[in-house]
Amino acid sequence: MNSALAVDCMGGDHGVSVTIPAIQTFLTKNTVARVIAVGMPDRLAPEVERLARRFPDRITLEPASQVVAMDELPQSALRTKRDSSMRRAIELVRDGRAVAAVSAGNTGALMAIARFVLKTLPGIDRPAIATVLPARTGRVWVLDLGANVDCTAEHLLQFGVMGAALVRAVEGVSEPRVGLLNIGEEAIKGNQVVREAAEFLAASPLNFVGNVEDIYAGAADVVVCDGFVGNVALKTTEGLAQMLATFLREEFSRAWWTKLAAMVALPVLRRFKDRVDPRRYNGAVLVGLRGAVVKSHGGVDAYAFGWALERAWEAGTHRLVDRVAEQLAALNGGSAAENTAAPAPSAG
Amino acid sequence: MNSALAVDCMGGDHGVSVTIPAIQTFLTKNTVARVIAVGMPDRLAPEVERLARRFPDRITLEPASQVVAMDELPQSALRTKRDSSMRRAIELVRDGRAVAAVSAGNTGALMAIARFVLKTLPGIDRPAIATVLPARTGRVWVLDLGANVDCTAEHLLQFGVMGAALVRAVEGVSEPRVGLLNIGEEAIKGNQVVREAAEFLAASPLNFVGNVEDIYAGAADVVVCDGFVGNVALKTTEGLAQMLATFLREEFSRAWWTKLAAMVALPVLRRFKDRVDPRRYNGAVLVGLRGAVVKSHGGVDAYAFGWALERAWEAGTHRLVDRVAEQLAALNGGSAAENTAAPAPSAG
């Protein structure tokens, strides 16, 4: 079995100083995986050589002469950065040399290049970005998170299909519960698109559990929404969590006796923090493509980037792309064989 | 000056057992306000008589023979519940007998009845629901929260106008910073409607501060969004906050020593909890109507309902409706006089 991850080592705010330590930890924990480190040889070669001594035959360097900037426009990155580390990493997936690509580079460019290089699966209009979040019970995958705004009901149905296949592949859940993010106001149950999407989802072979108002309730394994709405939910989550953390810190540092209380409570607060640590949820999956691509946040540390590597490993080795293709085929009443993914990811 | 609040005492999940204690506390704290308690006399009369002895001339009963059910459809409530406590309370505002109405009844029915009885202000297509939330610095008002889905750019502009007037009236901020809820993905900066709304807001006399990704950052006094998006942000906030509170409680009750730590940390945790207590933010304002109406959550306790009374008092006595009308007139280049609100709220 192909077991290599293609890692864009230059992407993100911190580049090599974050990606290389994360790869080192990943290769220590996972004794099967291999890594193809993609980037500028002058910066990367010494690091890769060092790791290759420690992990023989498990890390190689793939040269790339360019880097996509964090604020670069997708179309510009697509046209002018044909030898970027981001693009080379995705091409390794296309060519069957890697099971998945990981990059902390800019989302727009990554999506545009991934679409261009890998192409979408048959029956998919728009790839989506999916991420996993903690829920009251278990975890929940949410898509789309911003790749697509102004979605139609058909797009939301496709997100449901892709999300269910993703959860089946990555979480090993056989009949994932698919929910539709909606509002519960008595006045109006959602907008036109969402109402129509609910009908499509209910008529599909998916295990559709209806409307979901609270992502975190644990009532669904997959929550489907327009990219605008999903991105707002994600940013609201991040903003609120940061504000609450700040307030909690302020209260505990207000006086000598609150600082004392903080010391006593520290182990408990640390366990709580670990449990909801956003770094553990780093690594969004681009789904609907003929290959697995994972996007890490740009500003993260090595611990968080390591989670993106784990997610890419799961997606790449658990037949994510094939499963999405199969689920699409089931939806369209065809056979999985007709709609199968490009041979690349499973052929290496 | 008219100083009466019309309170639907029957609304919400708990009715009189919540509304009456809240009114008692409100009348104790606020020595100017009067309350018109609206509801079924057999249930309400003994309570009102008791309070009237304690607060002479400051509470009266307004009989209503019906109650709008929490799950009743707006159109049904409008047609069949013409003598409901909700409707009578709003009619007291229309007739100039009260400065504002408060109800914990169902949102859809309240909006439908308020629109029908009070009518919208000139230049307003759709009234909106606005609520206040804590922010990193200060507070932030968000609208719309679910009254309107599928908003146009013009509607978002109107929300900006109404929100700015609301903050000016209630918070006393002279040039409220108005932000537009948007997503910051590099790929696509928002959808078509939001992009157009940003142009309208930038060209308006409002103090428009641009796109806002994180409601809680404190970068704006008012954040404007489509009702679907706003409702998702609110439900995400509630869901996440509840989940985090549950996790924190679980960690502190895991073992004897964590319980001990909880006891030590309790005063600090309590201060933190008070600071972000959702009950303090209870009371959403229906804006764009020719009269002030405040909606309390349905399932709240007397403390939270008391905050809805405070919010109604502020809206009713700080010329909310007049200010929205003035701001609309400024937007349209007309004089405030032409567009003035119905005389009712300030005529009593």
Q: Are residues A295 and A278 in the same domain?
A: no
Instruction: Using a CB–CB cutoff of 8 Å, tell me whether B125 touches chain A.
Output: no
- Residues in chain A with CB shorter than 8 Å from the CB of B244 are 241, 244, 276
Pull the structure tokens for residue B137: 């610095």
CATH number reported for the structural domain that contains residue A29 in this entry: 3.40.718.10
In this model, does residue A230 exceed pLDDT 70? yes
Mutate to test the interface with A, among B142, B194, B243 (most CBs of A within 10 A): B243
Q: What value does the CA radius of gyration of chain B take, rounded to a whole number of Å?
A: 21
Residue B188's pLDDT is 52
Closest by CA to A309, choosing from A103, A57, A152, is: A103
Asked if the model's pLDDT at residue B338 lies above 60, the reply is no
| Average confidence (pLDDT) over A212-216 | 92
pLDDT above 60: residue A345: no
pLDDT at B273: 87
Query: Residue A329 pLDDT more than 90?
Result: no
User: pLDDT at residue A211 above 70?
Assistant: yes
A103 shares contact with chain B (CB less than 8 Å): no
Q: Are residues A142 and A67 in the same domain?
A: no
- As a whole number, mean pLDDT of residues B166-173 equals 88
Sequence-distant (6+) residues with CB within 8 A of B346 are B2, B99, B319, B322
* Nearest residue, CB atoms, A186 vs list B108, B187, B188: B108
How many helices and strands (H and E) does chain B possess?
Answer: 12, 11
Q: A262 and chain B: CB distance < 8 Å anywhere?
A: yes
B258 — pLDDT class (breaks 50, 70, 90):
confident
> Looking at the structure, do residues B29 and B163 belong to the same domain, yes or no?
no
Q: Which of B133, B185, B264 to mutate to test the interface with A (most CBs of A within 10 A)?
A: B185
pLDDT of residue A339: 41
CATH at residue B92: 3.40.50
Do both B83 and B184 map to the same domain?
no
User: Nearest residue of B to residue A193 by CA position?
Assistant: B150
Range of the domain at A82: 4-120+288-299
Report the SS3 class of residue B70: coil
Examine residue A343 and state whether it is found in any structural domain, yes or no: no
Q: Are A265 and B262 within 8 A, CB to CB?
A: yes
pLDDT at B339: 41
**Is B223 in the same domain as B155?**
yes
Closest by Cβ to A74, choosing from B135, B186, B269? B186
- Give the pLDDT score at B190: 67
**Mean pLDDT, range A85-98, rounded to an integer:** 97
Mean pLDDT of chain A: 90
CA–CA dist A278, A268 (Å, integer)? 18
Predicted pLDDT of residue B254: 85
> Is position A334 within any domain?
no
pLDDT at A210: 92
Q: Do A186 and B228 touch (CB under 8 A)?
A: no
State the pLDDT at residue A1. 57
Q: Decide if A122 touches B, using CB distance below 8 A.
A: no
| Pair (A31, A93) in one structural domain | yes
Q: Tell me: do B211 and B303 sit in the same domain.
A: no
Nearest to A130 by CA among A104, A166, A106, A172: A166
Q: What percent of chain B has pLDDT over 70?
A: 93
CB < 8 Å to B246, chain A: 136
Domain endpoint, select from A277, A299, A321: A299
Asked if A189 is an interface residue toward chain B (Cβ–Cβ < 8 A), one would say no
**Is the CB of B215 less than 8 angstroms away from the CB of A231?**
no
- Mean per-residue pLDDT, A295-313: 95
pLDDT at B341: 41
- B303 shares contact with chain A (CB less than 8 Å): no
Asked if A146 and A259 sit in the same domain, the reply is yes
Statement: residue B209 has pLDDT above 90: yes
* pLDDT value, residue A190: 67
Find the residue in A nearest to B243 (Cα): A136
Residue A105, pLDDT > 50, answer yes
Q: Are residues A280 and A148 in the same domain?
A: yes
Domain boundary among B253, B271, B287: B287
Q: Given this model, what pLDDT does residue B89 score?
A: 98
Average pLDDT over residues A257-269: 85
C-alpha distance from B161 to closest chain A C-alpha (Å): 22
A124 touching chain B per CB within 8 A: no
Residue B189, chain A, CB below 8 Å: the answer is: no
Note the pLDDT tens digit of each residue in A109-161: 999 999 999 999 988 888 999 999 999 988 999 999 988 888 899 999 999 99
B73 neighbourhood in chain A, CB within 8 Å = 186
Q: Given pLDDT bands bounded at 50, 70 and 90, which one contains residue A276?
A: confident
Min Cα separation B90/chain A (Å): 18
Asked whether the beta carbons of residue A262 and residue B265 sit closer than 8 angstroms, the reply is: yes
Contact B216 A240 (CB under 8 A): yes
Residue B100 confidence class, pLDDT cut points 50, 70, 90: very high
What's the gap in Å between the CA of A148 and the closest CA on chain B? 8
Residue B13 has pLDDT above 80, yes or no: yes
Mean pLDDT, residues B191-212: 92
Q: How deeply is A38 buried, as exposed, middle or buried, from its count of CB atoms within 10 A (0-12, 13-18, 19+)?
A: buried
What pLDDT is recorded for position A218? Answer: 92
> To 5 degrees, how large is the angle CA B64–CA B69–CA B74?
95
Strand residue runs (E) in chain B? 4-8, 34-39, 59-63, 100-103, 128-134, 139-143, 177-181, 207-212, 222-224, 284-287, 292-295
Compare A67 and B254 and report the one with higher pLDDT: A67
What is the distance between the alpha carbons of residues B39 and B81, in angstroms, rounded to a whole number?
A: 13
Q: Are residues B105 and B137 in the same domain?
A: no
Contacts of A272 in chain B (CB under 8 A): 247-248, 251
| Whole-number pLDDT of residue A66 | 96
Selecting from A214, A232, A252 the residue whose C-beta is nearest the C-beta of B183 gives A232
Tokens of A136: 């009251």
pLDDT at A262 over 60: yes
Last residue of a domain, one of A287, A309, A338: A287
B245 touches chain A (CB under 8 A): no
ipTM: 0.84
Long-range contacts, B172-176 (Cβ 8 Å, 24+): B173/B221, B175/B207, B176/B207, B176/B221, B176/B222
Angle at A223 between CA B242 and CA A174, to 5 degrees: 110
% of residues, chain A, pLDDT over 90: 68
Q: What is the mean pLDDT of residues B145-164?
A: 92
- Summarize pLDDT for A168-191 with one digit per residue, the tens: 988 888 899 999 999 875 445 668
CB-CB contact of A151 with A166 (8 Å): no
pLDDT in tens, B56-84: 999 999 999 999 999 898 999 999 999 99
For the cut 80, the answer to whether the pLDDT of residue B54 exceeds it is yes
Q: How sure is the predictor about A264, in pLDDT bands with cuts at 50, 70 and 90?
A: confident
pLDDT band at B333 (very low <50, low <70, confident <90, very high): low
CB–CB contact A183 B242 (8 Å): no
Q: Does A246 touch chain B (CB under 8 A)?
A: yes
Mean pLDDT of A77-91: 96
Q: pLDDT band at A336, cuts 50/70/90?
A: very low
The whole-number average pLDDT for the span A31-58 is: 96
A191 CB neighbours in chain B (<8 A) are 149-150, 228
Contact A114, A93 (CB under 8 A): no
Q: How many domains does chain A have?
A: 2
Distance between CA atoms of A41 and A267, rounded to whole angstroms? 43
Chain B contact present for A265, CB below 8 A: yes
Please report whether residue A73 resides in a domain.
yes
With bands split at pLDDT 50, 70 and 90, how would you rate the model's confidence at A333? low
Sheet holding B207-212, edge to edge: B59-63, B34-39, B4-8, B100-103, B292-295, B284-287, B128-134, B139-143, B222-224, B177-181, B207-212
Identify which of A135, A187, A241 has the shortest CB distance to residue B147.
Answer: A187
B181 & B263 share domain = yes
Closest C-alpha to A127, from A284, A10, A232? A284
Q: Is residue A294 part of a domain?
A: yes
Q: Cα dihedral sign for A217, A223, A226, A228?
A: positive
Task: Answer whether A187 sits within 8 Å of B135, measured CB to CB.
Answer: no
Asked if B184 and B143 sit in the same domain, the reply is yes
Average of per-residue pLDDT across A287-313: 95
Cβ <8 Å between B185 and A215: no
In a domain, residue A87? The reply is yes
